[in-house]
Amino acid sequence: MAPSPTSLHPSSLSRVKTRPSVSQSGPPMAPNHAPDPVQLLSSLASTSLQQPSAFTAKLDISKLSIDETEAAGFEPIDFLNKHYCSEAALVQQLPLLREAVAEKIYRLDDRINNALQRQSETADSTRRHVQQAKSSVKELQHRILQVRDKASQSESAVLRITQDMKRLDYAKQHLQQTITSLKRLHMLVNAVEQLRICCLSEPYPDFLSASQLVEATNLLMDYFSGYTHKVQPMRLLSKRITGFQEFLKTSLVQGVRIAGFGLQKTMEMEGKAKTKAHDDESLLDCCDHENDEGDHLRQQSPTTPIMTPDVMRGGVALIDALGPTVRDAFICGFCQDHLASYVLTFEPSSNDHKLHEKRVSSFKIQAPMDDEKEKVSGLDKLEMRFHWFQQTIQKIDRKFPAVFPAGWNLHASMARYFLKVTRDHILALLSGPSKDDDANNATILLKALQTSIVFEKDITGWLQNECGTVFLRKGDQDIGLDESQTSQATTPLIGIASGAFQNYMRPYISLEEQNLTDLLKEALEDRTVDTRGERPVFTSSTNLFVYIKGSITRCTALSKGKVFFMLCRAFKDALRKYALVLDRKLPIAAQSPGGALSIGGTFGQQQRVDNAISAHYRVPMGEEVTVCHVVSTCEYCADTLEALEELIRDMIDSEFKSKIDMMSDQEVYHDITAKSIRVLVSGLTRRVEDGLKPMLSHNWTAGDGGMDSAGEESAYVRTMHDEIEPYVIQVRSLLPISYFRTFCDKFASNFIVTYNYYLTRLKNISEPGSQQLLLDVYNLKTLFQKLPIIEEVAPTGVPGKKPLATGSTIAPAMYSKMVSKQFMRLEILLKLVGTPETLLVDNFKAQWSDGTAQDFVLVLSLKGYSRSQQAGWLEKFGLDADQALKGVTTGVTGASIVQERIQGLQDQGSTVARDLYQMRQKVDVFRKTFRTNSGSS
């Protein structure tokens, strides 16, 4: 039973809101107006029916707890707040609500009891109806089984009825197959008989009719192929057909030979007559002929007429009917027959055999024949071979007019066979016991190779134009040609005979190397300059590349394979030697006191770079022009080498493309260019150094014979101008702008170091002397600031010089910054030398903030202080007495300091050169990798 409606949850009233609630479906109720509990419960039931949920799905709602009711979708608190505006109203209406709920529960219990009573009353009838349904299902299953049995019986009856019909149908099919087989067997026997009659035709077998019969018999024998090994008569019939076909083929070959060579020579070619008769008897036994017919087939009458072209055309149709294998064998035999005399006439004779013939006197009668053979089989007589083949082709065309179809490519097959035999002869003449005496003669080799290539091209063109021959080209399989086109096309002829020379062209390469060597010998003493280009270069360089281009043209006309690759290696060797020629045009290095090694060995090595940095060069007057020409020539050679590499890569065969690399050769010329710039810088530095020596003998002290006041620039400064300006103007007019800027950078650095060295060797410089030196330094600084843009005032008349192009009037910013920074140190040094003693320490610390004790000692030394005086000044500078005395006793002079700085600059230059060399190697590796990837793509 349901719980009493009075037993409400204790927390239900406390959860009711005390404030007025606004109804969601209408305006709020009046405080004194309470809803009817019965209608309220009815509305709750109708709402649950309209919104079905887990709450309404339960049969007994009273058994649900508050939490379960809320989970089912019903909120009792909201329900009460909605219909009761206050707790007092709820308490007032609670008895009525309880009675309404009890009444509702009572009615639900009554309905449940009625439903249970009705269910108990109808249980027997329901059980009875279920039993009746089961009985009906069993009866239906029984009837279905009966229908299936009847269907099986019907099927068996139909099979019994149609069994005889199937037997008759099989018998009909067997009879039809038997009739068809008998008809085809009759046709086969008749065809074989007709084929036998064609073989007995006079004076030659009827090849045209036989070709049709051969096709028919082949088709019929394919039908009976399963019985030839099991049934004896069919096996014998197959042998007869094979015998007839062999007889027809032999008769055709014999007739073609008689038409081409005559009966007597044909008999010699076929061997003895008895052997031939024995072979014909074997054929007749297989054919089961009568004796009289066998006699007719065995003998070839001398009066038998020569086979006519019509008969031979029928024979061609017979060969086509026999299949492509027989056709290829016939063509091969035809080529061998007509080229047998070529082999006998032009085959090279062994040198050992010739010596043996000279020793044995009984063979003197054969000497004229061998001498005649030697006259036509040598490399210098190669054109006689090709002339012989052309005459042979003309004879074949006269004897066999319009006999062979174009699809056979007979002329192309003969040409291929001829070129293969010729290739074997050429190989024998180039090496081995039959080697020709002219095999090492480059002129005869080139002529023979050229003759072979010309013949291959001529015969290919003639076959394409006159015979309609189609040659396969590289990549034809990839472009999708029709099957009919590819079946009639043949392989190319070019390269069959001429390819024999590829491995034996060393004499030709030696000839080219000798010619290149002659050009290099002439270039050693030749200083002629070619001024037709943008920059003047040595004429020997242009002559070398012109010869290389002509040599490439000559070689590629003959070969683009191994011979061309060998020639390219000769070019690389010659170009490296020419770099040595250019190197010899530079002045000889005068070693520094440190004893640096001279430049030598292989170009591009690190040892050469390090040694070259410490080398000094003296450039005679006017010799700087030659050095500039070396730079321009090296640049021209390096640029031309890159274009030459691309040209060779485009022309050479694909298998050698990856082996073409001239980057290392370009680096050789870049190294010579760098060395030439160092020579120019060192040469001008040595000239300037001679002009700086008077500065050491000049008296820079005050007093009698000394400097009283500063005036114009010193005499040595004017000497600097006279030495530097013409030299730089000359170099600027001959060098490319990039190399000229490099020259200016290096010379400015070297000059400042050299000037600093001579400046620090001065003693007792007075204040006027320091002012004069400051004026000189400023003058030199102005000169070097305009060094990259200096121009000549009047032409110097140097041969090979071109007018200066109008360029920039502003020096490069990096160069100006470098020059200003270097001269600023000299100016600071001279200002400190002219500073009064009272302000010396303070000014040194202010103007030379990064100066060291050694720099301060240098200033004191230039002012003329003794070592003891320098020790005192060092104490004022901030050093203790021990350090000051140690600094004095070490004997640190200005010259030693400058020497250390020079050594540091040289070490720095060596490091830069080493880094540059490594960077070039990385660039070479990158270029090789890039070219390799571009190839493969």
CA distance 830 to 448: 82
Quickly tell me which residue has 């006699």 as its tokens.
295
Among 352-356, 472-476, 571-575, name the one with the lowest average pLDDT: 352-356
How much is the pLDDT for 617? 83
Check whether 544 has a pLDDT greater than 90. yes
Q: Which two tokens stand for residue 315?
A: 């024979």
How much is the pLDDT for 8? 40
How much is the pLDDT for 30? 41
**Residue % of the chain over a pLDDT of 70:** 73
**Helix/strand/coil (H/E/C) assignment for every residue in 268-309:** HHHCCHHHHHHHHHHHHHHHCCCHHHHHHHHCCCCCCCCCCH
Helix axis angle, 881-889 relative to 853-863, nearest 10°? Answer: 60
Check whether 420 has a pLDDT greater than 60. yes
List pLDDT tens digits, range 456-470. Answer: 999 999 998 888 888
How much is the pLDDT for 876? 74
CA distance 208 to 313: 8
Average pLDDT, the chain: 77
Cα distances from 463 to residues 286, 335, 397, 487, in angstroms, run 43, 16, 13, 17
List pLDDT tens digits, range 82-106. Answer: 778 888 887 888 888 888 888 889 9
Residue range 387-397: average pLDDT? 92
Q: Is 52 exposed, middle or buried (0-12, 13-18, 19+ CB in 10 A)?
A: exposed
CA distance 685 to 480: 72
Give 524 or 278, the one with higher predicted confidence.
524
* Antiparallel, parallel or unpaired: β 537-538 and 529-530: antiparallel
203 close to 186: Cβ distance less than 8 angstroms:
no
Among 292-306, 523-537, 726-740, 854-868, name the one with the lowest average pLDDT: 292-306
Q: Which helix (H) or strand (E) holds 218?
A: helix 207-223
Q: pTM (2 decimals)?
A: 0.65
Check whether 478 has a pLDDT greater than 70. no
Output the CA torsion 746→752→753→754 (10° steps): 100
Residue range 248-262: average pLDDT? 88
Check whether 356 has a pLDDT greater than 70. no
Q: How many CB atoms lie within 10 A of CB 682?
A: 21
How much is the pLDDT for 924? 64
Kindly write down the DSSP assignment for every residue of 593-628, as one continuous string. TT-PPPS-SSTT-HHHHHHHHTEEE---TTHHHHHH
List pLDDT tens digits, range 789-815. Answer: 887 654 444 444 444 444 567 888 888
CA distance 743 to 617: 15
List pLDDT tens digits, range 829-882. Answer: 888 888 887 787 778 888 887 777 777 788 877 887 777 777 777 777 776 545
How much is the pLDDT for 500? 87
CA distance 582 to 574: 12
Check whether 595 has a pLDDT greater than 90. no
